[in-house]
Structure 1
Amino acid sequence: MKTKITELFNIDYPIIQAGMVWVSGWKLASAVSNCGGLGLIGSGSMKPDLLREHIRKCKAATINPFGVNIPLLRGDAEELVKVTIEEGVKIVFTSAGHPKKFAREFKENGVKLIHVVPNVKYGLKAQEAGCDAVVGEGVEAGGHNGADQITTFALIPQLVDALEIPVIAAGGIADGRGIVAALALGADGVQIGTRFAATVESSAHDNYKRKILEAKDNDTVLAFKKIGLVRMIKNDFAMRAIKAEEECWDEEKLKDLLGSKRERAGIFEGDEIEGELEAGQGVGLINDIPSVNELMGRLLNEYHSTLKRINSINLS
């Protein structure tokens, strides 16, 4: 599988594991990279010293390329960038902010910069800022989403038509059929989150992984539309958030409800009731917790069997 993305990152397959908070540590990232994809360390739940530790452990666990995801709206984003550069990481995915702030610094240090965007407008801004590629993330994705709520199927071909740099598709992709669909829409690669969250090497709590397995197609909701969309699995906390919005709570009260440790409580500590269980709409396709090696093999088999089925269709 050779695409612009495999060439950009020097990897075998255009499959990127999303840099998810409390999920994507060095064990998951190195496992994905060892299988020919691109693993990402999710720095959004790490202090700078912990990020440094994970980078060094990842280097010791794989000789293949891996990257770091940095949410730019974090107060210590500059420190996370500094650590990433100091440790010699050459691939960085950024999100939740404008990549231009650190683009020059990354380029001067030979870092390939990729930014996550929810629409064409921000895709063009990322291209102008000097990004090497963008991740077009549809509203199907778990976690924080764009206010426009554009779906992956609609977003990707529009980004491909508008941009000159490669596009990576994300949001709702959980199997090989999704990979084929994304490439058919013009993407040069895919970024997969929730499916990798439910693997052996994921650092998430077993309760969180089990909730992913139990979830069906309609078991995620979008909440906190006033203060930043979040897609998560339905639980008591999620439904209280929905009710609060229906009652027109103001932004300050909604921020108080969300708090600062909901993600950690749900994903890392396993609080099924009051935690924020971020997950994408692809949860209905997930029914086991394989190793990364098993999952990567399955994704590739599904990819090839889907192509075979499509090629067998007689359109004449």
Structure 2
Amino acid sequence: MSQPVHTRLTKVLGCDYPIIQAGMGGPGRSELCAAVSSAGAFGCIGMVKEKPELIRSEIEAVRGRTDRPFGVNLVPSVTDPVLLEEELEVCFSERVKVIVFFWDVRPDLVARARAAGCKVLYQVGSVADAIAAERAAADAIICQGVEAGGHVRGKVTSMVLLPQVVDAVSVPVVGSGGFGSGASLVAALALGAEGIHCGTVFLATDECYAHDYHKQRVIDAASEDAIYNDVFAIGWPPQSPVRTIENSVTKQYENDLLGHGPDDFPLEVIARDGDDAVYRFSTHSPLRGMSGEMEPLALYAGQVCGQIKQVRPAGDVVRDMVNDARHALARLRSLE
């Protein structure tokens, strides 16, 4: 493994490389998280709206695989308040070191997490929310551009938003959206960020909990196939945009991709995740072990999908990104 690459972010997180694996909801489970952290980056388990028993078992599973630091990703604004309390209690009782929050900025939750001994990273999509997160005492800001996959808070590109957020706050800023290579890490650092936050590139890994169908669609997709829409609406507040790979659902709504909410669609069961029903137009993505129709589900991916050509071990992804970053820096030095 290459020598560590230290920034203020790595000091906050305790990892060797300024690369964060996005929680990604269902696909980001313990196996992927542990593999990323073991390779020197920072893994996360995506526990959005998950039962406390699963969160506890996933935390234990990560710790059974690695002694490296990791985080838990939660989305408070889309989680039932009672369930959110249960999620937080598990994280606090298990002494999770880092919590990554997303969507609306909740200063009260930042204060509670920090009081429980957690570092807090807040993922935002605007300068205003970045400032709000810093005022709430977040330890670092994840700045998401509109090219990102999954649920998208940003409305402008990372190249435009990132330097503005860097100028607006004093805590470490992490670039998210369009980052999935060593060269993009160097680009983010050049824009003032102190690391990158990657989902799509880690979705196409052996350890990811995504269904093989989803992984193959990521590999086959061009960047233009990653569609910005909100037709996958059941399970989130109205008009919550996502970026997904084109499928029969986005084609059906190709002239009406935005402006939808969960009540606009029928509850039509098309798949099952164990005993749980999975609906057409829901925010569920295909997961390992799901049965039923995979093609109409939300195939989350960012525009960086056009760079991904194969499914690989997550550790190889981390190592290649670090080595590529060093090569990119060497190329830049040769221009001096």
TM-score (norm 2): 0.87
1:286-305 equivalent positions in 2, closer than 5 A = 286-305=308-327
1: CA distance, partners of 2:179 / 2:14:
22
Q: Displacement of 1:30 after TM fit?
A: 0.7
Q: Displacement of 1:142 after TM fit?
A: 0.4
Q: Displacement of 1:158 after TM fit?
A: 0.4
Tell me, yes or no, if structure 1 residue 105 matches structure 2 residue 112.
Answer: yes
Structure 1 equivalent of residue 235 of structure 2: none
2: CA distance, partners of 1:229 / 1:237:
15
1:230-269 equivalent positions in 2, closer than 5 A = 230-245=242-257, 251=261, 254-256=264-266, 261=279, 262-268=282-288, 269=290
In the alignment, structure 1 segments of 5+ residues that lack a partner are none
1: CA distance, partners of 2:203 / 2:260:
33
Tell me, yes or no, if structure 1 residue 155 matches structure 2 residue 167.
Answer: no
Q: Which amino acid aligns with 2:286?
A: G
**Structure 1 pair 265–41 and aligned structure 2 pair: CA distance change class (3 A):** closer
Alpha-carbon contact 2:239-2:260 (below 8 Å) kept: no
Structure 1 equivalent of residue 93 of structure 2: 86
TM-score (norm 1): 0.93
2: CA distance, partners of 1:252 / 1:14:
36
Pick one of 19, 23, 29 that aligns with 1:19.
23
Structure 2 equivalent of residue 229 of structure 1: 241
Secondary structure at the residue paired with 2:243?
A: strand
Structure 2 equivalent of residue 122 of structure 1: 129
Alpha-carbon contact 2:250-2:257 (below 8 Å) kept: no
Q: Which has the higher helix share?
A: 1
1:125-144 equivalent positions in 2, closer than 5 A = 125-144=132-151
1: CA distance, partners of 2:223 / 2:260:
30
Q: Displacement of 1:45 after TM fit?
A: 5.4
Pick one of 97, 102, 106 that aligns with 1:95.
102
1: CA distance, partners of 2:184 / 2:99:
24
Alpha-carbon contact 1:152-1:171 (below 8 Å) kept: yes
Q: Displacement of 1:44 after TM fit?
A: 1.2
Deviations 1:78-99 (A, max 9, x none): 2111111111101000012223
2: CA distance, partners of 1:139 / 1:108:
32
**Structure 1 pair 258–100 and aligned structure 2 pair: CA distance change class (3 A):** farther
Deviates more, 1:271-280 or 1:13-22: 271-280
Alpha-carbon contact 2:230-2:260 (below 8 Å) kept: no
1: CA distance, partners of 2:117 / 2:210:
32
1: CA distance, partners of 2:109 / 2:179:
29
Q: Which amino acid aligns with 2:300?
A: E
**Structure 1 pair 179–44 and aligned structure 2 pair: CA distance change class (3 A):** same
2: CA distance, partners of 1:252 / 1:208:
23
Q: Displacement of 1:253 after TM fit?
A: 5.2
Percent of matched pairs sharing the same residue: 32
Tell me, yes or no, if structure 1 residue 215 matches structure 2 residue 233.
Answer: no
Secondary structure at the residue paired with 1:290?
A: coil
Alpha-carbon contact 1:238-1:276 (below 8 Å) kept: no
Q: Which amino acid aligns with 2:251?
A: M
Alpha-carbon contact 1:267-1:278 (below 8 Å) kept: no
Q: Which amino acid aligns with 1:293?
A: G
